[in-house]
Structure 1
Amino acid sequence: MASMAYPQSYYAASANPVPERPALQGDIDTDVCIIGAGYTGLSSALFLLEHGFKVTVLEAAKVGFGASGRNGGQIVNSYSRDIDVIERSVGADQAQLLGHMAFEGARIIRERISRYAIQCDLKDGGVFAALNARQMGHLEAQKRLWERYGHTQLQLLDTARMREVVQCDPYVGGMLDMSGGHIHPLNLALGEAAAVESLGGVIHEQSPAIRIDRGATPVVHTAQGRVRARFVIVAGNAYLGNLVPELAAKSMPCGTQVIATAPLGDELARTLLPQDYCVEDCNYLLDYYRLTADKRLIFGGGVVYGARDPANIEAIIRPKMLKVFPQLKDVKIDYAWTGNFLLTLSRLPQVGRLGDNIYYSQGCSGHGVTYTHLAGKVLAEALRGQAERFDAFANLPHYPFPGGQLLRTPFTALGAWYYSLRDRLGF
């Protein structure tokens, strides 16, 4: 089997050193077998190990190989569809539970970084940027909504204040969330993996799960080994393939593209983002950007439905970057990469159980950094018999894509075209 290496991203090039983690050989027994060493799997593993479970993690490639090690590195609260949408679809009680959990992921990330001394360039402060009055109205409503659920670290920014945060013309205002922020996402995953191992957890890389025997004691098969477990957690998200067919039918991998400039130097970097906050705009197909520790600009955006890798990522993203920061027209792009996230039709995560002992969480729909850390805690609680928060997620509707896997890409692309047209026309 060919070894799966990290994509040629800025994160892989600047990753902290890590030990070799050999592929699984032979048969082992464990309490919990986790499929996927991204944030969902690692977060689950940590919470379970902290409560005395024996945990084995199987990773098809390397720790953080998927979205966890490729994303924009932004800590963004709530879900891909906000709490008001959840309130309308599930009723007040369930919405209460989900609403109060919407800000927990960011707290879990900071607690992990602090408890396990993870070196991942954490910076506080994230900004939502409004391109027109309609979007600014949306941010004002969002602030009221989030404050209703006890989230108070928010500040509205008028045009003048916005210019102090981002030195560029397009924005009419914004909202600053001081509990948001940014990190080196791959180094966060690598630090969490080291924490898992420090508690006695075992991680096997280059060990894709090829089959799960379901039953009273599930068995997960890899090419060269088997794991017998009391419980299985499926945490492969957009990189799961068809291992669990009933999950594949209800989700669609989508690609997002990211570029990193050459180092800009302190002075130029400070003129772009004087407070070093990360920024995302309020469009349906949004752009997002931030500075790295070595003062590069990371800029991402665009969605490729069905997760094909576009031939020239720089050609897609560079024009978006220059629209925000025309002063970077002569700056070299050192890295360009793509990564997949998993979209659901409702754009809400899918959490549940298959039979009595196979648990899953998937479909963060582009809002994964904070949600996955919360998901790990919620899954671990369920395995310990505390299912109230798990059930709140599990009861969200899981819709299959219309027309099945054949038609899900054109349908979704059509929807995205409609929303991007709305963004452009400003309504």
Structure 2
Amino acid sequence: MTQSSYRAKLLTFTGDPAQSPDAAVFHEDGVVIVEDGHVAAAGAWTALAGLVSGDASVHDLRDKLIVPGFIDTHIHYPQTDMIASPAPGLLPWLETWTFPTERRFEDEAVAHDTARFFVEELLANGTTTALVYCTVHKQSADALFSASEAKNLRMIAGKVLMDRHCPAFLRDTPQSGYDDSAELIGRWHKRGRQLYALTPRFAPTSTEAQLEACAALAKAHPDIFIQSHAAESREEVNWVSTLFAHRRSYIDVYDHYGLLRPRAVYGHCIWLDDEDRRRMTQTRAVAAHCPTSNLFLGSGLFDFDRASESAMLVTLATDVGGGTSFSMLQTMNEAHKVARMGGHHLSATRMFWLATAGAAEALDLGGMIGTLAPQSEADFVVLDPQATPLLARRTARAQSLEELLFAFAMLGDDRAVYATYAAGKRVHRRGERTKRRNV
């Protein structure tokens, strides 16, 4: 049995900080003990030093902070190369940038090169798990899973399904989408650390026949994930109301086809009503809040108060390439501002929970990832409070955990990520990343 130990400041959670003042567990001088890819123990150094074996490698990181690996619950890997593309709104942005970019994934070399870069970018930002949209091309999912498997990451992804209202070169059919998805589920779901997500892009790009095929797949595979978009912009919501005039709301479209359930994650969820939120809470479907994307595309402001009142499951996500950063720290930054615009104070401690343990619990993966609890998979991030002169100056004056975390959220980005570990193995260290040729 191989053991490694990491001595540093530690942060983990026992619950939602908004519900319990003691939910954030912080050790000024802590240690994480890793054995065979899992956390054997984590806590105060004084309590656990005796468990460190004599031949274990001990990494002294006492000037840094270890947190569980970040979990990004909504991101598009094919959009990596079109991040920061200008457009007047969501639908024109799709037509002008997204669809032409995704066409390139007909080429397996493009898919594999982009997937490798995408995974490296996630790890450089401390993200160890993500819910990833591929393209309509089956090989795009194979490329993403292969890149994830090479790093032994806990990744969730799926081939996009679209059979209408998209260019012909990105269109599948209800049958081909079903067959491709079933094949990919068989090849990748639960293979090592890989998990599959059934991925209808959004209701407007799937016919009722395709949504029925999704319903059949979801019923046949109750433990796979489901991911799509919902109520991102008013224009989109109005479009859905004309396409599905017999359904009460955008969320009701998915509900009708049995696609609201645990492990179902819907990006954005801005323009919901109270009945939508009630159904999401009742079914344990998840709203992935994507603040940088919502601001960039002018989609709207997520309502944290209404979400809290309904007890709806909420996570944070980057939504690259509509989102403008791979960094979950920068995503926290914008989430805080979006919340403030709605009159809600979102604390840094809760934002870190939403990006770690809160996300894991919402995804039905609690105790496995997003935590430093014993037996969990040893995915964690080493954050450097001295990463930049300004961050160092500010964190040196921090008088509380909240103040320290808030400084990371407001001032941090990939430079604050000193190292990233997946299943106990270091998969990124700041400054060591290799450069890749663009394809």
Superposition TM-score, scaled by structure 1 size: 0.29
* TM-score (norm. length: structure 2): 0.29
More helix per residue: 1 or 2?
A: 2
